[in-house]
Structure 1
């Protein structure tokens, strides 16, 4: 069971793809209009400014209600946790009712209600069941409690804002949990790289195997982007060295050298190059974009520790090189080469090929357009040497 109608989302994607095809003159105006009539957008549509305003207003209203109830009842921390659990259930019910009655889909109000409900559930569970002698549990334990709750909400709603909090809980659990172990700080970069690689592989597999991937398309894409960047940063020499200095006791004018510096100098360049090779072979734009950013970060890392040129000169040289390479690639890829092109990539989604009704709509429109308007001949039956009853 899901919060939003999956069929409506598929129809929305079909309509959006048809609009893009019409702009590319792949579909005629009549065919595109037939698709719009067959697959109307059933969700309520609002402007971006109104969605942001609705989100902020709903969030503030929910927080004000929580504060008012807490102040009025003058309750302790456990009572505050009970209020949070009640509020989690109430906002969840309001969100479900609002979606079904008003056809909301990420209109700001529903996003805020999901966020308040999920965070209230986590906060209530922590205060009621995991607070010991009025001592708040450590951060990694809060992340461990929050992760399954947020995951359940994400599965039900497919909400991207909750996905950010879920990723924060996932990486916060690893980060803070390892810092509580004596050897955890040394293993932290490797744990983050391994967790990011595993998360990216899992999400990629889910995207290819799920039958309802359209419902989670934004969530899966967001997790892929974040996992790639976290894995890239965890292997960067600058990030590892400077973060290690921040975690050490005391202040240093220059961050101290880390253990295994050669290995992290190697990963600084190997990880973005690995992204680039895999992205080139799989024609994966996401991997290629992150690879380019990683190479730029690797060059900046080298300059930070061994560079002698002024920063302005370095930026000017790097900017000129990047702009020149971009111009050369754009000119070179005007015609497809090795599966890459500078043209807009608009491949049809699987829903267009799976949906029999859409194909029937296109075929019916095409037949109506190709139908001759002049006299029609034929249909006669001839037998032997003379005409039959029809001619």
Structure 2
């Protein structure tokens, strides 16, 4: 199912690991060069700005080709759906060609994949004139792109399409009461997280490392925002015309109050337990948004005083954590990242270097001590 050569894909990950080791000063520049020569890899770019530049170039080329196709097919303008399907076929051809020429996470392939998805969704959406059909096609095509081309952004598009499809079916078609929309999305987030855990244990998980991280991030964010009090309250006022007053709140308000703060705390605890950096950053972001949610409706103190006391609290907590974690070598520590030399590694390097500096003393040579065989060799062995 993967469009790339498996051996070149494995070599790409090996070269990326070698570059990380070189940045951490574990290997020399010559060793990195030898690794790149020994393991031919796919055409990719780790530099984000270079990748964005190639993405813009690919968008320009794709739009130019699309304009040419539209100009050639101008007699069919009355049946413009056919033109959209031709542009979608052009996107599929470009994506497959770039994959066969070993372009992976390069920028050009991103423009082809996204252009293909836009044209396919637009073609089916215009043909059937239905939002659910368009969102369903977007879900399917983005999922296939993520699986075949290991495309990370397609995972985000797929998740957004699923959320949009569920919301459209509930709001426009009244499949279920609107009150249960938040709980359905929360169950969806749990399902995505469970699927992510299952896929992470498969044999091919090393190829889908970035798409799986995107899937985990989407599940965490959907799970939090689906039950966030601010989001639920605003949706309840807009969709169900619920009027919130001092004496009347939204249904099950205490549940959403609890989950607004319980979920970020759960993220932080799980991130520390599992040493998951992505979950840690997500937990910190959602905790900050939870504080913003309460501040949005309840002004306990003026903003300047809230910022002042918040800064003092954060400084105090940071100082305590720095003091406790400063000299730890394992687990959660204040030391550099594990890809950088720690104190133990520095000591080991010093011992190794000094051991090579000590000359080797021969145990047996032409001049025997204690035998008196040579001048200055000492007294003889006989009295």
Interval of TM-score (by shorter of Structure 1 and Structure 2): 0.7 to 0.9
Shift of 1:295: 2.2
CA distance in 2, matches of 1:222, 1:329: 29
Task: Provide the aligned C-alpha RMSD in A.
Answer: 3.3
Q: How many residues align?
A: 340
> What pairs with 1:84-163 in structure 2 (closer than 5 Å)?
84-101=84-101, 103-128=102-127, 131=128, 136-137=129-130, 139-163=131-155
Task: Give TM-score, length-normalised by structure 2.
Answer: 0.77
* Higher alpha-carbon Rg: 2
Tell whether the 8 Å contact from 1:62 to 1:116 is kept in structure 2 after alignment: no
Aligned-residue offset at 1:337:
7.4
Alignment partner, residue 360 of structure 1: none
User: In structure 1, what is the Cα distance between the partners aligned to 2:19 and 2:138?
Assistant: 40
Q: How does 1:342-357 map to 2 (within 5 A)?
A: 342-346=334-338
Q: Given that residues 183 and 226 in structure 2 are in contact (C-alpha distance below 8 angstroms), is that contact kept between their aligned partners in structure 1?
A: yes
- Per the alignment, do residues 62 and 168 of structure 1 end up closer, same or farther by CA in structure 2, a change over 3 Å counting? farther
Q: Aligned equivalents of 1:153 and 1:29: distance in 2?
A: 36
Q: Give the 5 Å matches for 1:1-391.
A: 1-28=1-28, 31-43=31-43, 45=45, 47-48=50-51, 50-65=53-68, 67-68=70-71, 71-75=74-78, 79-101=79-101, 103-128=102-127, 131=128, 136-137=129-130, 139-179=131-171, 180-181=173-174, 183-209=176-202, 211-248=203-240, 257-336=249-328, 339-346=331-338
The change in CA–CA distance for 1:342 and 1:4 in structure 2 (over 3 A counts) is farther
Show CA shifts across 1:119-145 (max 9, x none).
3223333444xx2xxxx22x2332123
Residues 88, 118 of structure 1: 8 Å contact kept = yes
Q: Is the 8 A contact 2:66 2:87 kept in 1?
A: no
**Aligned partners of 2:15 and 2:175: how far apart in 1?**
56
| Partners of 1:150 and 1:165 within 8 A in 2 | yes
Q: Of the two structures, which has the highest relative contact order with CA contacts closer than 8 Å and spacing of 6 or more?
A: 1
Which ranges of structure 1 fall in alignment gaps of 5 or more residues? 349-369, 377-391
Contact 2:178 2:240 in 1 (8 A): no
Q: CA shift at 1:327, angstroms? A: 4.1
Distance 1:109 1:41 in 2: 17
User: Do 1:269 and 1:295's aligned partners in 2 also have CA atoms closer than 8 Å?
Assistant: yes
1:303: how far off?
Answer: 2.4
Q: State the distance in 1 between where 2:71 and 2:323 align.
A: 62
DSSP-derived class of the 2:185 partner: helix
Distance in structure 2 (CA, Å) of the matches to 1:42 and 1:287? 30
Relative to the length of structure 1, the TM-score reads 0.76
Distance in 2 (CA, whole Å) between partners of 1:323 and 1:56 is 46
The unaligned stretches of length 5 or more in structure 2 are: 341-355, 363-383
Q: Answer with 2-11 or 281-290: which moved more.
A: 2-11
| More moved, 167-176 vs 308-317 | 308-317
